[in-house]
Structure formats: C-alpha cells, structure tokens
Chain A
Amino acid sequence: MFEQLKLERFKAARFYMIYIAIALIAAAGGSYGYLKFPEGLGLGKVFADAVCDTSLLFVPATVTAWLLGNDFLYRTIHNPIKLGSSRASVIMAKALTAFAVSLMIHLTDITATIVGYGLRYGFDSSLFTTGNLLWLLVVMVQVCAITSFVVLIVFAAKNALAGIALTVVFTFITCNILRNFLDGKTAFKLSCFSLAQTNDVSTLVLSGIFAAITIAVVLGLTQLVFRKAEIK
C-alpha cells in the first residue's frame, strides 16, 4: 500500500492537467474574489461564500477521473495486481491520491478568492476563527465524498474516456443542477453535493458524519464492483 501511494504520488506530480486546473481555478477564484464582493465585507464573509461553492467542483472531479482513468487507458492498472497487491489496496491508494488532488484544487479556489478580495480591499483577521476551521475541515471531508463517487465511476467504467465523460455529467448534475430543485431539503443540505452552507456546529457535525459515511459506502461499492472484475 505504501509503495502504491509512492507510485500514485509520482504520477500525480507529473500529471500536467493538475497544474493547468490549479492555474485556471486560481485565476477564476482570484477574479471572483476581486470583482464580486463589496468593500467592507471582511475576509470571514468571503471565506463563507467560497468554502461552500460547488460550482467549480467539476474541475477537480474531471482532473481526478482523468488521472485515475489513465491507468485503465495504458493498462498499467495491471502492474500492482500482477505483483499481488489486493484490489482493495489499489482502490485505496488511488482514492487517497484523488482526495489529495481534489482538496488541493478546491483549497486553491478558496485561497484565490480570499486573496483576490484581500488584494482589492485589504486583508483582515475575521477569517481566522475556530468555527471557520471546523467548517473548512467538514467541507474537505465532503469534497472527498464527492471524489469517492469519481473513484467509483472510473473503476466501474474501467475506461478513461468513459470515466471522464460520466464524471463530468455526474458532477454537473449533482453539484450544479440538483441544488435548483432540492435546495432547502434537509437531506440535500446535509449531503456532500451541497457543501456545508453555515458554520453552525450541529450542521457541520451532521454533514461531516454524513460525508464520512458516504465515503465508506461509495468506496465499499467500488470494492464490490472491482473485487472480481476482469481487468482488460
């Protein structure tokens, strides 16, 4: 497992799409922070707006689908399995890498928005509260939960292109379209597809638990799908 993680880190570090995505997200987030918010709002409010924004989550989802799918495209998914690694460890190593990539891109979005605002109106300390830290942590778990669906899609599709296409459709529907119909519904509010909207502790705890359960269930499903599957 440790060896596989080293391998995944090597591949992620050389996957240029991650850098392109980070640059694009940084530009978009920075412009948004610079142009969207009025003066005197404070960095705390800007953070509150940026941390739960799901509109660009299709970007990290697509990039991770691409990164994971490449192993099916090049058939390099064979390598750890032929060496006797369990399929569960293959899934886990890839899931952890995907989580790291998604979090990096989402954190870039939040940071760029804050920096964009700060550059125009100045920086303040309203951002640094325990509540915001907990909020950020819960959102990170929720982003991992969304990413776990990407892992499931790629392992079920066992094909890079199909995995990317399905991921784009899935994230657009769940993170961008669904909120137009389900906004306000408790189940949707607590789900990972609506990143925690407030730093109310009870909401955050429930959202965090819900996201952790989602990760466990979705990765369990991935294992079920991939456990005995033929690898082309």
Chain B
Amino acid sequence: MENIILQTNGLSVKYGSFTALDNVSICLKEKHIYGFIGENGAGKTTLMKVLTGLIYPTSGDFSLFGKNDEKDIMKMRRRIGSTIEAPTLYPNYTAYQNLELQRVLIGNPDKGVCDRLLELVGLKDVRSKKVKKFSMGMKQRLGIALALVGKPELLILDEPINGLDPKNISELRVLLKRLNEENDVTLFISSHILNELYLLATDYYIIHRGRMIESLTHDELDAKCRQYIKIKTAELPRCITVIENGLDEPEYKVIDDETMQLFSHTDKAEAVAKLLMENMIVTREFSVTEQSLEEYFLRLTGGAENV
C-alpha cells in the first residue's frame, strides 16, 4: 500500500471577502509526481505557502507524514524541500555560501553536500560567484539545489522552470525524474508550461479560482484528452454544413474563421475526408490530433485567458 505523505482537509484561506483557497482537499502519495495546474491567482502558491508554513489557513487542516499536530507538522517540515514563487537566496553571497548557510540551518553534518549539489544542478564552475550576478535560470537551479540540501522526501516546487532555457528545462526534467526514481522523492510541482508538466507528472491537481476542480492520474488524463479531427479550410461555413448534413450527430467546435475541431467520428477519419472531397472542399489541414494537457485544462476552466 502506498503511504500518504500529505493530506489536506478542507483548507481555506480568506483575505477579507476574497477567498484565495476554498475548501481544498488533496492527498499526496509517496513517490508520485504531482502536477499542480491553475491560472494566475487560482491559489497554487497560496496552497504551497500554507503547506510550508508561510501562511496559516483560515480553516481546515492537513497532515504531513502522518502527523497533524501543529508542533509535529513543524518538525516534519524538515523533510520537505521547497521553492515558493522564486528562490530565496542571499544575492551578496556566493552559490556555495548560500548552500552552506542552508546546510548549517538544517543541521546537516555532511559538509560535502553543497559541492555535490552544485555539480548536480550544473553550477559547480560558478560556486564562488555571487548570486546577484546569476541569470534567472542559474538562480532557479540554485534554488532547487537549496531545496535539496536537507535530502527531502517531498519537494514542493512553485514554477521551477520559469526563466529556464529549453536545454535547462530538459535537464531539470531529467534531474527531477532521477530524484523521484532513485531517491524516492515525491514531487508537487506547479507550472504554467503544461506540456512540460505532462512529460513529468504521474498525477494532476487542477485548481480554479481557489477550488480544486479536478484530480486525475496521468492515465486518466490520457483517457480524457479526447481525440479530434482538425480541419482547416478557407470554406469553413460550407464545410460545417457538409459535416452537419453528412455525418450522424457530429460534435464539433469552431476555433477560428478557418479552423474547426471535430470530436466525433475520429475513428472514421477516412470517411470524413472522403465526404469533404466529394463536396469539393479543399482543406489546408486535415489531421487526427489528441488534446494536450493544456487544451484539456482550457476546456475544463473555460478559456484561454490568464494561462
């Protein structure tokens, strides 16, 4: 049986009349990688701040590694590594000094851990460089190293790939997967780059306007991400008429003046193509596509705004 390492029960955070988190319940199991998805202001960072002790919830509670007493939770936080919003680094100290300070704070007696982590995140060559001279990507990587100093069992990362270039993103993905597979670290990651999250996560939580609206596994997401036929043509109104008259109960969505998505009849794509050809409709694009995580998220939350 999988161990539950974090469970929240009806967590709410209110600021006056504004509800940042509304009755949020999640359950994180050991060794999983959770993708945490939501628009800006949906409550992702607020939840992460509650879990790391930076905010107190207005109501609700949570247990961490099976402990739900406040004092025990504080002790259990030593088993969590996190970066919330942006890495919390001392700009006037070097990369090594930042890690060393964290090591002292944690009370980790392993003095070699800082150099090993700098090597792990590819910053060994700049160990003596002051953090204020670092690029955003380097700071993000150092922030992840900082979160790893205490050999955490749960890693909470808020937008960890912000500011990283594609090479760094790919390297970070490999690193996080390695931590999960080799060190059994459970990951709880929020990101706006949903396609990248899709490559990493085993489970997803989707939050919208402070409410948790969906939780699903990677397999469930794949099952729910519907296939569709993408049709792009200059004669879209006529194409729609042909499809409505020629197919049984077609389910479609118009994307723009030239594009539509046909969600039904995906297993009969050849028949649809033949129907369009018989009606002399010239298509610029005709392909069977699957919804991405991003498209699924947009469908669920009802729009592309703020994503």
Contact = CB atoms under 8 A, between A and B. Distances in A.
Nearest to A6: B104
Interface residues of A, number: 22
B105 interface: yes
Contacts, number: 66
A6 B78 CA distance: 18
Nearest to B72: A84
B272 interface: no
B166 to A, nearest CB: 27
Interface stretch (A70-78, A120-128, A141-149): A70-78
A7 interface: yes
B105 A4 contact: yes
Contacts of A10: 101, 104
Contacts of A228: 56
Contacts of B49: 230-231
Most buried by B among A4, A79, A82: A82
A84 B105 CA distance: 11
B68 to A, nearest CB: 14
A79 to B, nearest CB: 6
Contact of B90 (A4, A6, A74, A231): A74
B93 A82 contact: no
A90 to B, nearest CB: 11
Interface in B188-203: none
B102 to A, nearest CB: 7
Interface in B95-130: 101-102, 104-107
Nearest to B108: A3
B168 interface: no
Contacts of B78: 83-84
A14 interface: yes
**What's the interface size class on B, roughly?**
20 to 34
Interface in A178-232: 228, 230-231
Nearest to B13: A230
Contact of A84 (B77, B101, B146): B77
A82 B82 contact: yes
B100 to A, nearest CB: 9
A76 B89 contact: yes
B145 interface: no
B74 A79 contact: no
B53 interface: yes
Interface string B55-97: 1100000000000000001111110101011101111110000
A14 B105 CA distance: 17
A230 B88 contact: no
B150 interface: yes
B55 A74 contact: no
Contacts of A6: 104
A4 B102 CA distance: 10
B54 A78 contact: yes
Contacts of A74: 88-91
Contact of A79 (B56, B75, B85, B105): B105
Most buried by B among A4, A10, A83, A85: A83
B18 to A, nearest CB: 13
B52 interface: yes
A83 B86 contact: no
A78 B54 CA distance: 7
Interface string A7-39: 100110010000000000000000000000000
B74 A84 contact: yes
A210 B54 CA distance: 34
Contacts of B73: 84
Nearest to B46: A230
B93 A81 contact: no
12 contacts: A3-B107, A10-B104, A74-B88, A75-B85, A75-B86, A76-B90, A79-B88, A81-B53, A82-B54, A83-B106, A228-B56, A230-B54
Interface of A: 3-4, 6-7, 10-11, 14, 74-76, 78-86, 228, 230-231
Please name the 3 residue pairs, one residue from A and one from B, whose CB atoms are nearest each other, closest first.
Answer: A84-B77, A84-B74, A231-B54
Given A79-B88, A82-B82, A230-B56, 16 more contacts: A3-B104, A3-B105, A6-B104, A78-B52, A81-B53, A81-B54, A82-B84, A83-B78, A84-B53, A84-B74, A84-B78, A85-B74, A86-B74, A228-B56, A230-B55, A231-B49
